[in-house]
């Protein structure tokens, strides 16, 4: 795979730091993904240089989390997080360390990371990999293994439990048995993690096929969720729809702070999941126009079929101007006439402008004379 600009830039930063006498490596997901031949989401560099030394070398950088020893080095659209080797102080709240110690050794830096496959250090100049925790072997074995004592590591930071499930799903790895047992034992503590962080992990884990593991880990039950839909999907809304069918009150939408668009899609998908047919082509086409429609077959396993775009979105036969020319007084009935006309068009009943004009005259005449008009004015 050809190196991308961001990868080149991360490598450049690493060389520069090395050339100035610091230890410097690519680390974390980008190394793991490179060894797995997967595209990396982001690139992280770690170095023995202290934050002010990093800033000194890369003037175009900002101290994002200076107290965490992280510097954001930027060039145009490119940005790379450059962190100083660190070790973590005690974790008191299940979220973050009370303090961090900068200027730790590479080994100490590795041991504060979550999983062995995430603690690989690459010198991209030489291709040499440093692997203080056995991450390369676990990559071979396709295992998510906590570094050190899993209970301790998950007690420190409860989010790591969900990260384990997410990595296992995304990489199609297994959670190493002792690591899984620790998660099962500590699962109730996931409730202390901020809702958004839980949701962000689920948005990656569930479409990747992680629902079964989410359940097996005990994390789903701890959150009051029963995710029985285990398939991989192209969109999280399919999973929210499936969950909605198991939890019809939909309370999890608020609990997990699910964005409005995903909610709306999930509700529409769930509402149409038992559908087997349509009253007419127009109804089918209007449904097939919805952006979530292709997901319905992922949810139900049944393909209801669709139509070519030209049939879903035929050019309207008439406009409001045409109705005005017919002498129909402008008003709210325009919308209704045009919609009824579109229904007839979608059903293939009307195909020409001439027939459309007749249809429009017919409806208005009928409406003016018939009882429907009188009722609708009540």
41 touches ligand ATP (CB under 6 A): yes
Partner that binds at residue 160, options ligand ATP, Mg ion, none, CB closer than 5 to 8 Å by kind? ligand ATP
CA distance 233 to 298: 7
Partner that binds at residue 113, options ligand ATP, Mg ion, none, CB closer than 5 to 8 Å by kind? ligand ATP
CA distance 167 to 160: 10
Q: Least distance to Mg ion from the beta carbon of 106, Å?
A: 18
Q: Least distance to ligand ATP from the beta carbon of 28, Å?
A: 3
The CA-based diameter of the chain, rounded to the nearest angstrom, is 92
CA distance 34 to 140: 13
Query: How many helices, marked H, and strands, marked E, lie in the chain?
Result: 21, 11
- Residues 289 to 308 in contact with ligand ATP, rule: CB under 6 A: none
Q: Which lies closer to Mg ion via its Cβ, residue 33 or residue 131?
A: 33
Angstrom distances, CA of residue 347 to CA of 276, 281, 344, 362: 19, 5, 5, 18
CA distance 276 to 298: 14
157 touches ligand ATP (CB under 6 A): yes
- Answer for the pair 44, 9: CB distance below 8 angstroms, yes or no: no
- Answer for the pair 61, 49: CB distance below 8 angstroms, yes or no: no
Site residues (CB under 5 A) for Mg ion?
Answer: 29, 42
Q: Which lies closer to ligand ATP via its Cβ, residue 154 or residue 293?
A: 154
Stretch that binds ligand ATP, among 6-14, 37-45, 243-251, 265-273 (CB under 6 A): 37-45
Q: 3-state DSSP call for residue 92?
A: coil
CA distance 11 to 121: 12
Q: Which lies closer to ligand ATP via its Cβ, residue 30 or residue 341?
A: 30
114 touches ligand ATP (CB under 6 A): yes
119 touches ligand ATP (CB under 6 A): yes
Q: Least distance to Mg ion from the beta carbon of 333, Å?
A: 57
118 touches ligand ATP (CB under 6 A): yes
Q: Which lies closer to Mg ion via its Cβ, residue 29 or residue 207?
A: 29
Question: Is 245 exposed, middle or buried (CB count within 10 Å of its CB: 0-12, 13-18, 19+)?
Answer: middle
Q: Least distance to ligand ATP from the beta carbon of 101, Å?
A: 15
- DSSP strands (E only) in 48-109: 61-65, 70-75, 78-84, 86-88, 100-102
Q: Least distance to ligand ATP from the beta carbon of 292, Å?
A: 26
Q: What angle do CA 3, 8, 14 make, to 5 degrees?
A: 135
Q: Least distance to Mg ion from the beta carbon of 81, Å?
A: 9
113 touches ligand ATP (CB under 6 A): yes
Q: Least distance to ligand ATP from the beta carbon of 42, Å?
A: 5
210 touches ligand ATP (CB under 6 A): no
Q: Least distance to ligand ATP from the beta carbon of 211, Å?
A: 19
Q: How many residues are present in the chain?
A: 378
Binds ligand ATP by CB under 6 A, chosen from 22, 160, 199, 235: 160
Q: Which lies closer to Mg ion via its Cβ, residue 84 or residue 300?
A: 84
165 touches ligand ATP (CB under 6 A): no
Cα 365 to its chain centre, rounded Å, is 53
Nearest residue to Mg ion on Cβ basis: 29
DSSP state of 117: G
Stretch that binds ligand ATP, among 49-57, 63-71, 157-165, 261-269 (CB under 6 A): 157-165
**Tokens read off for 79:** 């940005």
34 touches ligand ATP (CB under 6 A): no
- Answer for the pair 236, 191: CB distance below 8 angstroms, yes or no: no
Nearest residue to ligand ATP on Cβ basis: 29
**Tokens read off for 127:** 């291709």
**Footprint on this chain of ligand ATP (rule: CB under 6 A):** 28-29, 41-42, 44, 113-114, 118-119, 157, 159-160
């Amino acid at each position: 795979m050809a190196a991308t600009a961001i990868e080149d830039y991360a490598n450049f930063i690493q060389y520069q730091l090395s050339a100035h006498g610091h230890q410097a490596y690519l680390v974390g997901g980008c190394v793991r993904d490179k060894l797995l031949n997967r595209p990396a989401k982001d690139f992280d560099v770690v170095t023995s240089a202290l934050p002010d030394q990093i800033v000194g070398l890369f003037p175009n950088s900002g101290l994002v989390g200076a107290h965490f020893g992280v510097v954001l080095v930027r060039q145009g659209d490119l940005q790379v997080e450059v962190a100083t080797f660190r070790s973590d102080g005690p974790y008191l709240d299940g979220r973050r360390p009370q303090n961090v110690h900068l200027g730790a050794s590479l080994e100490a830096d590795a041991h504060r990371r979550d999983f062995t496959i995430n603690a690989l250090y690459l010198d991209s100049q030489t291709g040499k990999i440093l692997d203080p925790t056995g991450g390369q072997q676990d990559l071979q074995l396709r295992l998510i293994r906590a570094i050190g004592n899993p209970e301790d590591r998950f007690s420190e930071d409860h989010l790591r439990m969900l990260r384990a499930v997410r990595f296992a799903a995304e990489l199609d790895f297994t959670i190493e048995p002792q690591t899984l047992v620790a998660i099962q034992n500590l699962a109730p503590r996931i409730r202390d993690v901020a809702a958004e962080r839980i949701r962000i992990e689920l948005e990656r884990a569930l479409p990747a096929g992680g629902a079964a593991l989410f359940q097996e880990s005990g994390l789903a039950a701890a959150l009051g969720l029963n995710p029985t839909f285990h398939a991989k999907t192209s969109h999280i809304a399919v999973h929210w729809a499936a969950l909605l069918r198991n939890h019809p009150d939909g309370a999890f939408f608020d609990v997990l702070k699910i964005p409005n668009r995903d909610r709306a899609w999930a509700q529409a998908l769930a509402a149409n999941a038992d559908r087997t047919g349509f009253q007419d082509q127009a109804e089918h086409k209007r449904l097939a126009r919805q952006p979530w429609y292709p997901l319905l077959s992922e949810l139900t396993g049944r393909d209801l079929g669709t139509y070519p775009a030209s049939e879903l979105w035929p050019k309207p036969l008439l406009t409001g101007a045409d109705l005005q020319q017919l002498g129909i007084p402008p008003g709210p009935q325009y919308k209704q006439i045009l919609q009824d006309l579109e229904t007839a068009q979608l059903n293939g009943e009307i195909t020409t402008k001439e027939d459309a004009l007749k249809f429009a005259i017919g409806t208005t005449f009928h409406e003016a004379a018939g009882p429907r008009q009188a009722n609708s004015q009540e």
